[in-house]
Structure 1
Amino acid sequence: MNRKTLVLPAVLGLLVPVLAACGGTGGGQGGDGIVVGTTDRFTASKDAPAPLDPAYAYDVGPWNILRQTVQTLMVQPRGDGDPVPEAAEKCGFTDTGNERYACTLRDGLTFSDGDAVTAADVKYSINRALAIEADSGVFALLSNIDTIETQGEREVIFHLKTADATFPFKLSTPVAGIVDADEYPRDRLRDGFAVDGSGPYTLKSEVRGDELVKAVFTRNPKYKGALEVRNDQVEMVSYEDADAMGKALEEGDIDLMTRTMSPEQIRKLSEDSGDVDLIETPGLGIRYLAFDTTDPAVKSKAVRQAMAQIVNRSELVSKVYGSQAEPLYSLVPASITGHSNSFFNKYGEPDTSKARKLLEQAGITTPVALTLHYTTDHYGPATKDEFEVLRKQLNASGLFDVRIKGTPWSTFRPAEQKGEYQVYGMGWFPDFPDADNFLAPFLDKDNFLGSPYANRRIRTDLIPESRREADRLSAASSLQDIQDIVAEDVPVLPLWQGKQYVAARGDVTGTAYALNSSATLQLWELGRGVSG
């Protein structure tokens, strides 16, 4: 067949990181299982010994393992829209104030070993995540829960501290995954790579040293839920780089590749003929610079504002990503309800003279010496090029003396959490597709970054106000105020949002639904057949 590029609307989802595994495969086309390639790595370390525990995991890679294996009460649908019941038969708010949320479990639900799943298991699992308070910060998604009540074997009632219209979305995230008390201790994380749940697949992990080298997902015959599983097995394999992954796809060693393809590779796939389909979707994934606002070099707001005034997003995107990304002027992507171009509204086009004036008025001596840190192996092979462009832009102003430093993710993330970096580059794929999830994880208490930045109005007024509105359009005013404050204080500096890509051999079906709008990998959608 002639290779074709399929451009899909946002409702069909976007590409996200998947599980990392290393090593070879028995051949994607020759076996019954579908083989997925990735360049991600998945490791356990002294700082992160429990990468697959739902009470710890807070990255799209481990989350996409957990989404295949551990059930949640709710699940996000194929495309856009509100979450729907999964382990639950039904869920909903039972009061007018969005503070009491009740769920009824499906009848006959069991873990993969045959043990019954009960309301007590749901309560245990969520209370466990809240009690452990892992340093990943994932527990903060559930921190608005006051108490959990059970009635019989199947009824669970959540009493919230304050109104939260986004709570159903949070119950669809892996931190709310249902685990067995016999396998997951109450007061500590479960180290290693084993996962036990009631999801559509069971997981077989092959481990070499501290790395998961192969992962095989096998259909769980005891699964009861909302998902239709269209295959019996999916294997995930990790490659050293995008070129090696692409070669494996060309040679038929894998059936589908996800992240991270290089910009050059995507351009080639979009132009060449062959038997590979490139599926393009609008993206909700964003990239940004984050600041340790207590560090002497960037403690002054004027320094951060000057950087915001100098960075040329259009040039950055054009030189590094071309048509595969778009400039971003807020933490909230342009396609999300409540988005505001707050950074453009405040700073306009890049202007060195305005940046110089900001620094002079604050009494800052120039050039300001800074190190911009980035991860070498988590956001794709173009990350180094991106930071080279940022370095050149800032240094060309004469106001900064910037150097850049790349570090592997296994070292980068723990160092970032410990506050070792002045300025560092990060990416974000949403926990769920709502503006709240692009703001609260960075600005609220117990935030994902461990950022020392705290704005009282955002935390005590604006975030709670926005969550009270079930109609998200009605929350736009509060959301815009938050974005305007971020543009003023610059605890983070948004850079761009990307389009997303999947490349698959022509006999793989379901690729349009392999990813949903909140970056969830849906392996159960993949099958074999004839594509047109």
Structure 2
Amino acid sequence: MNRKTLVLTAVAGLLAPVLAGCGGAEGGSGGDAAIVVGTTDQVVATKEVPAPLDPASTYDTSTWNVIRQTLQTLMAVPRGGGVPVPEAASKCAFTDNEDESYRCTLREGLTFSNGDPVTADDVKFSIERVVDINDPNGAAGLLNNIDAIDTNGDLEVIFHLKTSDATFPYKLATPIAGVVNPKQYEAKKVRKGFDVDGSGPYTLKAEVKNDKVTKIVFTKNPKYKGALKVNNNKVERITFDDPDTMGKALDKGDIGVMLRTMSPEQIKTMTEHPRDDIDLTEMPGLEIRYLAFDTSAPSVKNKAVRQAIAYSVDRNKLVNDVYGTTAESLYSLIPSGISGHTNSFFNQYGDPSLSKAQTVLRNAGIKTPVEFTLNYTTDHYGPATKKEFQTLQSQLNATGLFKVQIKGTEWSAFRPAEVARKYEVFGMGWFPDFPDPDNYVAPFLDKGNFLNSPYVSAETQNLLIPESRKEANRADASDTFGRIQDIVARDVPVLPLWQGKQYVASRDDITGVEWAVNSAAEVNLWELGRGSS
């Protein structure tokens, strides 16, 4: 029997909104037996990042997937994709024609897990706290368009925006906008360690060794009131050092679900040699991988060098040699499946061309070989990352135009070094905060971008991004996003490489797997249950 399941998950604009569920915390199944999930995602506290689970101090998929189980947000993207729907709120809407005033009314009777009531003042505190702390490891930039926040009584909160922003409801659905209790979180200081307390579907308790989370127990929050239906009473999240160890635990039945990140070899084996007791779920992915450049670094400061690299990289060979059928070549920051996607890099550079790379360097007077180091993280994007960068190194060096070294670093040190601009060229992945083209553009190109890139396109920042946000119908902004992608292809502050699919493996008595991880790699543990899959 072939146990592989293909899930055609909806992405932005393809399906009308479908509410993820209703009825709050009641309805858990499976008794008290915990559903055990495995992951290779690391949650680590370091000197540079002492508060990895504080919504003001983190901005990566692994930590956000912990926070989203425990902190509640005003809005939530429904399980099938589409526009956000109310979650902690009972209703939210723009109240002006310019999309500059956004008003939300909280559900009545909301409480934090300790019993304290959730009020509009708590929402205001939570979001202003993120902006005020402005942690370089966080995502305060998502909220930089907020001009002021007002409250009206205990249930109503009004956001006044500096400029029109049709994407604002999506931003309120991200963990950066998670509601925290002022009694447990200081206004001007991050909450160090691994405690998270909120009003979401679960409470959590983390087990830690050497400042690394080894296990998290999520227990259904009996006080939760919101749009989500919680289908289990407890979930245990076990962290593994590598996919092979995680896979062996699934084979033995020590875990019921294998989440991020499976290796290409594991996926190939499960596809070609399926087992009756294990399901492999495949879904479209909105994950992208790319090279980023410190455009102030001497080796790649000249645009011609970056363009020559764009002429030299063979994406198709990279994907085929390293990732096989689990990925596909990408020629834009905005992936296929998102409105506004174009193939700007292919239009600009076509297939790899040594002669064109030589010409662009010669015309700019660049002495070859150009020397630099490709930096990558060893433990954040999966076990194939090293092979990917070895392949890139080989491709570039084979041209004779470059002399490239590679260096791998653990994520806990890699991310702070990248933000501090200690790398000339480095590899990164991106899982969208929300499935909208804006989220593949603004985080890289807008003021306060999360890469801390020195690259500036005044046209993009001052004209195109603001113009795109005025379009309530996001498809109407496609031409604007096309222009942005053309600018990126011309200047090459980043070089898109590939777009990946999402995979989850599970024992055949686990249900809800197809909804527990979406195309943006968001994990929704409340969807998991026990029964017949």
Distance in structure 2 (CA, Å) of the matches to 1:240 and 1:195 = 23
Q: Give the conservation status (yes or no) of the 8 Å contact 2:329–2:499.
A: yes
Match of 1:305, SS state, is helix
What residue number does 1:260 align with?
261
Q: Give the conservation status (yes or no) of the 8 Å contact 1:246–1:257.
A: yes
Counterpart check, 1:8 vs 2:34: no
Deviations along 1:428-472, one digit per CA (max 9) or x if unpaired, are 000000000001000001111111111111000000000000011
Q: Mind listing any 5+ residue stretches in structure 1 that lack a counterpart?
A: 14-28
What residue number does 1:247 align with?
248
Match of 1:69, SS state, is coil
What residue number does 1:23 align with?
none
> Which one of the candidate residues 345, 355, 358 is aligned to 2:357?
355
Match of 1:285, SS state, is strand
Counterpart check, 1:188 vs 2:208: no
Root mean square deviation, CA, Å? 1.3
Give the partner amino acid of 1:7: L
Match of 2:10, SS state, is helix
Give the partner amino acid of 1:281: M
Deviations along 1:57-94, one digit per CA (max 9) or x if unpaired, are 11111111111000000011102100110000000101
Q: Give the conservation status (yes or no) of the 8 Å contact 2:283–2:518.
A: no
Distance in structure 2 (CA, Å) of the matches to 1:128 and 1:375 = 30
What residue number does 2:103 align with?
102
What residue number does 1:215 align with?
216
> Which one of the candidate residues 337, 343, 364 is aligned to 1:335?
337
What residue number does 1:18 align with?
none
Distance in structure 2 (CA, Å) of the matches to 1:519 and 1:448 = 19
Match of 1:71, SS state, is coil
Give the partner amino acid of 1:136: N
Q: Give the conservation status (yes or no) of the 8 Å contact 1:12–1:281.
A: no
Counterpart check, 1:503 vs 2:502: no
Deviations along 1:127-175, one digit per CA (max 9) or x if unpaired, are 1111111102400101100000100110001000000000000000111
**Displacement of 1:3 after TM fit?**
5.0
Match of 1:196, SS state, is coil
Deviates more, 1:422-431 or 1:205-214: 205-214
Distance in structure 2 (CA, Å) of the matches to 1:351 and 1:8 = 37
Give the partner amino acid of 1:438: Y
Q: Give the conservation status (yes or no) of the 8 Å contact 2:502–2:519.
A: no
Give the partner amino acid of 1:431: D
**Displacement of 1:41 after TM fit?**
1.6
Distance in structure 2 (CA, Å) of the matches to 1:450 and 1:478 = 24
Counterpart check, 1:381 vs 2:383: yes
What residue number does 1:324 align with?
326
Distance in structure 1 (CA, Å) of the matches to 2:111 and 2:216 = 23
Counterpart check, 1:129 vs 2:116: no
Taking structure 1 as reference, are residues 121 and 12 closer, same or farther at Cα in structure 2, changes over 3 Å only? same
What residue number does 1:61 align with?
62
Q: Give the conservation status (yes or no) of the 8 Å contact 1:137–1:447.
A: no
**Displacement of 1:212 after TM fit?**
1.4
Distance in structure 2 (CA, Å) of the matches to 1:132 and 1:375 = 27
Match of 1:283, SS state, is strand
What residue number does 1:16 align with?
none
For these two proteins, the number of residue pairs brought into alignment is 515
What residue number does 1:282 align with?
284
Match of 1:11, SS state, is coil
Deviations along 1:316-342, one digit per CA (max 9) or x if unpaired, are 001111111000000100110001100
Distance in structure 1 (CA, Å) of the matches to 2:363 and 2:274 = 57
What residue number does 2:489 align with?
487
Distance in structure 1 (CA, Å) of the matches to 2:390 and 2:129 = 43
Distance in structure 2 (CA, Å) of the matches to 1:288 and 1:410 = 19
Q: Give the conservation status (yes or no) of the 8 Å contact 2:304–2:361.
A: yes
Give the partner amino acid of 2:407: K
Q: Give the conservation status (yes or no) of the 8 Å contact 1:78–1:515.
A: no
Q: Mind listing any 5+ residue stretches in structure 2 that lack a counterpart?
A: 13-29
What residue number does 2:274 align with?
273
Distance in structure 2 (CA, Å) of the matches to 1:109 and 1:325 = 42
Aligned pairs for 1:99-248 (under 5 A) are 99-248=100-249
Deviations along 1:213-262, one digit per CA (max 9) or x if unpaired, are 21000000000000000000000001121111100000000000011111
Q: Give the conservation status (yes or no) of the 8 Å contact 1:12–1:512.
A: no
Deviates more, 1:257-266 or 1:225-234: 257-266
Distance in structure 2 (CA, Å) of the matches to 1:471 and 1:40 = 35
Distance in structure 2 (CA, Å) of the matches to 1:48 and 1:177 = 19
Deviations along 1:20-49, one digit per CA (max 9) or x if unpaired, are xxxxxxxxx997110000112211000000
Aligned pairs for 1:25-104 (under 5 A) are 32-104=33-105
Distance in structure 1 (CA, Å) of the matches to 2:118 and 2:274 = 50
Distance in structure 1 (CA, Å) of the matches to 2:274 and 2:452 = 47
Distance in structure 1 (CA, Å) of the matches to 2:141 and 2:382 = 28
Between the two proteins, what is the percent identity of the paired residues? 61
Aligned pairs for 1:423-434 (under 5 A) are 423-434=425-436
Match of 2:289, SS state, is strand
Distance in structure 2 (CA, Å) of the matches to 1:30 and 1:318 = 45
Distance in structure 2 (CA, Å) of the matches to 1:107 and 1:313 = 52
Q: Give the conservation status (yes or no) of the 8 Å contact 1:337–1:476.
A: yes
Q: TM-score, normalised by structure 1?
A: 0.95
Distance in structure 2 (CA, Å) of the matches to 1:468 and 1:412 = 36
Give the partner amino acid of 2:330: L
Taking structure 1 as reference, are residues 200 and 137 closer, same or farther at Cα in structure 2, changes over 3 Å only? closer
Give the partner amino acid of 1:113: N
**Displacement of 1:374 after TM fit?**
0.5
Q: Give the conservation status (yes or no) of the 8 Å contact 1:328–1:496.
A: yes
Aligned pairs for 1:465-476 (under 5 A) are 465-476=467-478
Deviations along 1:5-30, one digit per CA (max 9) or x if unpaired, are 101113289xxxxxxxxxxxxxxx99
Match of 2:488, SS state, is helix
Match of 1:493, SS state, is strand
Distance in structure 1 (CA, Å) of the matches to 2:194 and 2:415 = 19
Give the partner amino acid of 2:319: V
